[in-house]
């Protein structure tokens, strides 16, 4: 009995040591299960919705528990594939009923841009947190209405800025904050690809609210802001359109745009649906530089600096994003770069100004 008592005492001390030393349990092969799991319903079961669902299989803090779709066959397929109970399945007409479903914490809206505003507001009124894919809306006014609705309902609104959690991106930002790059002078952002199917919703102005700028140019806008660590105070922009049939009125094909910042730094960016291989960020300072190419693709992100390569391990962006968003929504964690609705509205204000600059040919002040 004495030997058994001594063994139990030692075992108890060992367990205490594992809990008292951060990271020791993981290093020893043990993994602590998080206290809370974010239970998510995905609205919009297209290609990106599928990507998020697949990524959540590896999430430790987020779980796919529900779906919202206008296509019954997709609902049936997802039920079978992801083990989703029928009580957590909705369509676009009845999803307000999620207010009575305690098994869903948040809805991730992954639908055409023009639908985001009304859908997020309905989610908020149902008392659920909203995660909305970017761009959050088709203009800043609608984005602000979404922020206001979520605030009034006492729920949070997050935007799908997956790059805000990507390791190499965060390392570049650490270098900037530490002063290793010196005074920042210039940012270049190239965002583009050749878009395919001319009948898709992204080329319908009523659903997309714009063309390449809404879809891919927003990466350079957002990237300029987090790489420089400042908000722009003016924009200028010029549009080029070589195919007015495919890129009809309201759908931009290629826009070159420039932004000026309070420090005197400038950004020169390109957004296009007509050229492949454009996924590059370059940040230049008085003491150093960072280049990332690809800079915003699904990964792995590759980069280099004046001090050497950026080569932190790649983890599926959407998996990291959902775990980090679970921490924000359930545990009050603060991300290095904001991903809330206010952050989304800032990008929308810049997009509005770029479209105005294209239309007028003038510099547009943002303050």
Name every residue whose Cβ is closer than 8 Å to that of residue 18 and which is 6 or more positions away in sequence: 24, 25, 28, 30
Record the tokens describing residue 71, joined without a space.
Answer: 């296509």
Give start and end residues of each alpha helix (H) in the chain. 2-20, 24-27, 47-56, 72-82, 116-125, 140-153, 167-178, 205-208, 212, 218-228, 317-331, 341-360
Buried b / exposed e along 214-229 (16+ C-beta atoms within 10 A) = bbbbbbbbbbbbbbbe
SS3 38: strand
CA distances from 169 to 230, 303, 324, 336 (A): 16, 9, 15, 11
Active-site positions? 134, 219
Q: Using the 8-state DSSP alphabet, how is residue 213 labeled?
A: I
Residue 315: which H helix or E strand, with range? none
Tell me the C-alpha distance between 254 and 275, whole Å.
Answer: 9
Instruction: Report the candidate in 186, 205, 213, 351 with the shortest Cα–Cα distance to residue 270.
Output: 213
Tell me the C-alpha distance between 255 and 282, whole Å.
Answer: 18
CA distances from 285 to 186, 213, 303 (A): 7, 27, 16
Tell me the C-alpha distance between 149 and 145, whole Å.
Answer: 6
* Cross-strand bridge partners of residue 365: 234
Report DSSP letters for 240-276, one per residue.
E-S-TTTS-TT--SEEEEEEE-TTS-EEEEEEESS-S
Report DSSP letters for 83-108, one per residue.
T--GGGEE-TTTGGGGGG-TT--EEE
Tell me the C-alpha distance between 230 and 42, whole Å.
Answer: 33
Name every residue whose Cβ is closer than 8 Å to that of residue 53 and which is 6 or more positions away in sequence: 42, 64, 78, 82
């Amino acid at each position: 009995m004495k030997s058994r008592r001594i063994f139990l005492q030692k075992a108890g001390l060992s367990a205490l040591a594992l809990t008292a030393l951060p990271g020791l349990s993981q290093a020893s092969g043990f993994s602590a299960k998080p206290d809370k799991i974010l239970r998510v319903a995905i609205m919009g079961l297209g290609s990106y919705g599928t990507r998020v669902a697949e990524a959540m299989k590896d999430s430790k803090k987020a779980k796919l528990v529900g779906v919202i779709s206008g296509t019954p066959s997709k609902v049936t397929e997802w039920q079978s594939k992801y083990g989703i109970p029928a009580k957590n399945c909705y369509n676009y007409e009845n999803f307000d009923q999620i207010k009575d479903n305690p098994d869903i914490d948040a809805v991730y809206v992954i639908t055409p841009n023009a639908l985001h505003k009304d859908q997020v507001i309905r989610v908020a009124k149902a008392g659920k947190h909203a995660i909305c894919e970017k761009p959050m809306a088709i203009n800043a006014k609608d984005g602000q209405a979404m922020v206001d609705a979520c605030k009034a309902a006492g729920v949070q609104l997050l935007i799908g800025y997956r790059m805000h959690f990507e390791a190499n991106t965060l390392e570049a930002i650490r270098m900037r904050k530490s002063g290793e790059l010196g005074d920042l002078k210039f940012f270049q952002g190239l965002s583009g690809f050749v878009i395919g199917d001319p009948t898709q919703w992204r080329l319908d102005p009523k659903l997309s609210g714009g063309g390449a700028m809404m879809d891919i140019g927003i990466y350079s806008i957002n990237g300029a802001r987090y790489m420089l660590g400042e908000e722009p105070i003016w924009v200028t922009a010029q549009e080029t359109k070589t195919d007015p049939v495919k890129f009809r009125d309201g759908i931009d094909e290629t826009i070159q745009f420039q932004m000026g910042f309070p420090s005197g730094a400038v950004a020169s960016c390109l957004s296009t649906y007509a050229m492949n291989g454009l996924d590059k960020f370059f940040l230049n300072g008085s003491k150093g530089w960072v280049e990332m190419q690809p800079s915003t693709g699904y990964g792995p992100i590759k980069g280099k600096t004046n001090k050497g390569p950026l080569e932190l391990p790649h983890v599926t962006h959407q998996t990291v994003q959902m775990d980090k968003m679970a921490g924000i929504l359930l545990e009050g964690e603060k991300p290095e770069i904001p991903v809330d609705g206010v952050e989304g509205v800032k990008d929308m204000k810049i997009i509005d100004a770029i479209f105005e600059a294209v239309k007028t040919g003038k510099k547009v002040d943002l303050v």
